[in-house]
């Protein structure tokens, strides 16, 4: 589909956009599983916390939310047993981390996602799966290169 650098990039982008929409549909089936009863905003927070403990202010920054909104989100996640709060010596500095139940929920979600993906991939011919894997690997490498110093991106849940 894509020849030399830039050739057919717009057509490839359109095809990728369509495929990404389909992938999001497949993923939404996993999110809607009865044993993953967490809204997408809360899942995004859990994915941030899976990378390591952060303070509420940093979590808010990662989510693009106000600190007060992130704090209320943490209240709900803590009440559900999905995160824990650690109060430091300075009571204003609160660190939040993923609880074992939170990690278990993310593990279930990944398992559901992979089951859905396996179902779809199993219906594809082996050469098509290999080509897809190669293309996704190349895409990941290209997308992971920052355009300039300080550029970053975060993944949606």
Among 103, 106, 104, residue whose Cα is nearest residue 114: 106
Would you call 31 helix, strand, or coil by DSSP?
helix
CA angle centred on 151, ends 149 and 152, rounded to 5°:
135
- The answer to whether the CB of 36 falls within 8 A of the CB of 105 is yes
For the chain, the average pLDDT equals 87
Statement: residue 31 has pLDDT above 60? yes
| 45 vs 32: CA distance, rounded Å | 17
Q: Please give the average per-residue pLDDT across 9-18, as a whole number.
A: 91
Q: Give the residue extent of every domain in the chain.
A: 36-142
pLDDT of residue 94: 86
Fold type of domain 36-142: Arc Repressor Mutant, subunit A (1.10.10)
Q: Is the pLDDT of residue 85 over 70?
A: yes
What pLDDT score was predicted for residue 92? 72
Model pLDDT, residue 149:
47
pLDDT band at 1 (very low <50, low <70, confident <90, very high): very low
């Amino acid at each position: 589909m894509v020849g030399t650098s830039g050739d057919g990039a717009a057509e490839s982008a359109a095809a990728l956009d369509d495929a990404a929409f389909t992938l999001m549909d497949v993923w939404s089936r996993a999110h809607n599983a009865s044993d993953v009863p967490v809204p997408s905003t809360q899942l995004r927070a859990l994915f941030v916390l899976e990378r390591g403990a952060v303070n509420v202010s940093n979590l808010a920054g990662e989510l693009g939310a106000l600190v007060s909104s992130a704090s209320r989100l943490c209240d709900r996640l803590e009440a559900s047993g999905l995160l824990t709060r650690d109060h430091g010596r300075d009571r204003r500095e609160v660190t939040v981390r993923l609880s074992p139940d939170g990690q278990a929920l993310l593990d279930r979600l990944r398992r559901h996602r992979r089951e859905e993906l396996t179902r779809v991939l199993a219906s594809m011919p082996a050469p098509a799966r290999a080509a897809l894997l190669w293309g996704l690997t190349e895409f990941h490498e290209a997308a992971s290169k920052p355009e300039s110093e300080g550029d970053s991106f975060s993944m949606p849940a």
